[in-house]
Amino acid sequence: MVTHSPEETQKYAATFLTDLIQSGMHVVALVGDLGSGKTTFVQGLAQTLHIEHQIVSPTFTLLQQYPIAGHEYFDSLSHLDVYRLNTLDEVFELGIEEIFENKRSLVLIEWADKVREILPDDVCEVAFFVQGNEHEIRCEI
């Protein structure tokens, strides 16, 4: 999928969510360069799930969790940004194992390539690429 604006990226996220739900997966690995659209994509998913909080990348806190009310499949969104991660122990200290085990939590991990070795087998990878004003989003569900 190629998008040309943040709005198009967010709109695509809504379509992606439907496909993700049908797949039964709940952990999404977001990979791509700085400014490639990862956080914008998360914002689109949050908007689709009617999360009213402002979504920003949790670069300094590593993890931000948001409740989801009245959704058939998910009751929370766990948004991780592991860009500043120094060791995998930091992710384990956040309780990542429990987060992965909660199938009712939509788990979105920015810079997931840094923690690939701890991701569950049934993770959906979404890769972001930028060329000029085009943002390409590739995913395997």
CATH number at residue 11: 3.40.50.300
Give me the chain's average pLDDT, please: 94
Say what the pLDDT of residue 59 is.
Answer: 84
pLDDT at 141: 79
Residue 75 has pLDDT above 90, yes or no: yes
Least confident of 17-26, 71-80, 82-91, 106-115: 82-91
- Mean pLDDT, residues 86-94: 90
Does the pLDDT at position 86 exceed 90?
A: no
Distance CA 15, CA 130 (A): 20
**Stretch 104-112: mean pLDDT:** 98
> pTM value?
0.94
Per DSSP, the chain holds a count of helices (H) and strands (E) of 4, 7
Q: Is the predicted pLDDT of residue 21 greater than 90, yes or no?
A: yes
Cα radius of gyration rounded to whole Å, the chain: 14
The mean per-residue pLDDT over the stretch 73-83 comes to 97
Decide: helix, strand or coil at residue 63. Answer: strand
* Residue 140: strand pairing partners: 125
Which 8-state DSSP code applies to residue 1? Answer: -
pLDDT at 140 over 80: no
The number of folded domains in the chain is: 1
pLDDT beyond 80 at 107: yes
pLDDT score at 11: 94
What is the span of the domain harbouring residue 31?
2-140
Residues whose CB is less than 8 angstroms from the CB of residue 57 and which lie 6 or more positions away in sequence, other chains included: 38, 39, 42, 79, 81, 110
- Reported as a pLDDT band with limits 50, 70 and 90, residue 23 is very high
Residue with tokens 């991701």: 119
Neighbour order of strands in the sheet with 134-140:
2-3, 134-140, 123-131, 27-32, 105-110, 76-81, 63-67
